[in-house]
Structures are given as C-alpha cells and as structure tokens.
Amino acid sequence: MRNYYIAANWKMHMTVSEAVALAQDLVAKLGKSKERVMIAPPFTALAAVAQVIRGSSLVLGAQNMGPETKGAHTGEISPLMLKDLGVKAVILGHSERRHSYLETDELINRKVLLALEQELQPILCVGETLAEREAGKLEAVVGGQVREGLKGVSAAALATVTIAYEPVWAIGTGKTATPEDADAVHGYIRIVLTSLYGEAAAKAMVIQYGGSVKADNAAELMAKPNIDGALVGGASLKAETFVPIVSFR
C-alpha cells in the first residue's frame, strides 16, 4: 500500500504563538501518522515550529525561497537559512507566486535546481487558470510548467522532487476539480515525466493535488491511481479540519 504525502501550506497566516499552538496540536494528533506529513508555516514561525515538531514524524517545509544562497538580495530567504532552521522541504512555483508576484518558469527552475543542490526537497507547483482551461490550453500550460520547472534536473535528483497539481481556479474557491478530472491531469503529468525520465521514474513520482481539499473530498481524491497526496491551504489552518484529511483512511 502506498504512503500518501500530505502537505499543509499555511500561506500568510499565523503569528508565532498561533503557529506554535497549531503545531503542538498537530504533533499530538498526527505525530505518529503513517502518512508523510509536511507543514509549511510562514518564515517568521519556522524556528519556533521547528522546536515544537522536533522528534515527531512531521516534516518542516518552507513556502518559498530565494534563488541564491547569499548576497545583496533584500527581502529574500536563502536555502542555507532554511536548512539552518531544520527545513527539509520547500514549496516552489505556487500559483500565488506565479500570478501575484510574477515568478517565471525560468526563475522557478533556478530555485528548483538550487533547492536540490542544497538537499531541500522541492514541491514544484503547476496548474492552469480557468481561462487557460477553457481555451483548451491545459496540457500546454501544465506540461510546459513541468518541463521548464524540471529543466536540468537529473534522474537521480528527480526522486526527491514532488509535483503538486493545483488548478488555479480551485484554490481557495471551494471548487475542487472532480477526482476524475484531477486524476486525468495527473496522468498527463506522468506522460510528460515519462517522455523526460522514462516510465519507471514517472510512475514513482509523487504527485499531490491541491485546491479546496477538505475532509469530505480527501478520500475520493486520494483513491485515484495518479493522486499520491494533497497540498492543503485553508483546511490546514486548524487541527480539526486538517487532521481528518491526513486520517482519511
């Protein structure tokens, strides 16, 4: 039976004390979960949350990182700083970074390569807007984001990369892609991965779904053959809504 990879993206929520309280609750309720669980607090709460989850099975993640290790980059956070705090995974190319902060595939690819070089596990986010879907560009957009995001990633390094498919129109809207729709896109991502890395690597790739994942749709989504986990936003902000997602089976 496969293990699922469920990640919590707290986005720009939580003061340090709120983050600590939630992390304590999650350690108590999920500290021994059989699923792989990652939580990504805002940068300001990473150090405090790292202390709380130490010794548990919860993995510490960051929501973004800068494309350089150090230097004159005002406002950026280096992968070295993340590692220093115990961060193991990093979300890259989230649609909010792509659309609100105009991150390009080229920049996201630089971050993916740097994360891998620094032994941080990237979660590369991809996904189409509603307009792109309606214009029949879903495969071109998602396929392009996968190809460009992984440019220069070796087959060996790919094993530590996760892809998160997050249709932009399903994020924070309460609209979820149907499990069938999501599974079809995940299947397409595997076709792209097969063309890049071969069938075995494509099969082994962990592909999360994100976009209005809740306790009441998690089991249905996760039952699909190509869906290996979830990247959860809104429902990850409270133990009472996140724990049932992780404990969907």
123 counts as binding ligand 13P under rule CB under 6 A: no
Residues in contact with ligand 13P, shown as a per-residue x/- string from 40 to 79 under the rule CB under 6 A: ----------------------------------------
Q: How far apart are CA 193 and CA 69, in angstroms?
A: 28
Shorter beta-carbon distance to ligand 13P: residue 90 or 235: 235
Which parts of the chain fold into alpha helices (H)?
16-30, 46-53, 79-84, 95-100, 105-117, 130-134, 138-149, 155-158, 179-197, 199-204, 215-222, 239-246
Which residue from 210, 224, 226, 242 is in contact with ligand 13P, where contact means CB under 6 A? Answer: 210
Q: Is 99 a catalytic residue?
A: no
158 with 220: CB under 8 angstroms? no
Cα 1 to Cα 4, 35, 37, 217, 225: the distances in Å are: 10, 11, 17, 20, 12
Residue 100, classified by CB atoms within 10 Å of its CB into exposed (0-12), middle (13-18) or buried (19+), is: exposed
Give the active site residue among 35, 96, 103, 166: 166
Shorter beta-carbon distance to ligand 13P: residue 211 or 229: 211
Tokens of 30: 């999920």
Q: Is 166 a catalytic residue?
A: yes
Contacting range for ligand 13P; rule: CB under 6 A; set: 143-151, 179-187, 190-198, 210-218 = 210-218
Shorter beta-carbon distance to ligand 13P: residue 207 or 213: 213
Which residue from 33, 162, 212, 217 is in contact with ligand 13P, where contact means CB under 6 A? Answer: 212
Shorter beta-carbon distance to ligand 13P: residue 107 or 237: 237
**Residue numbers of the site for ligand 13P (CB under 6 A)?**
9, 94, 166, 171-172, 210-213, 231-235
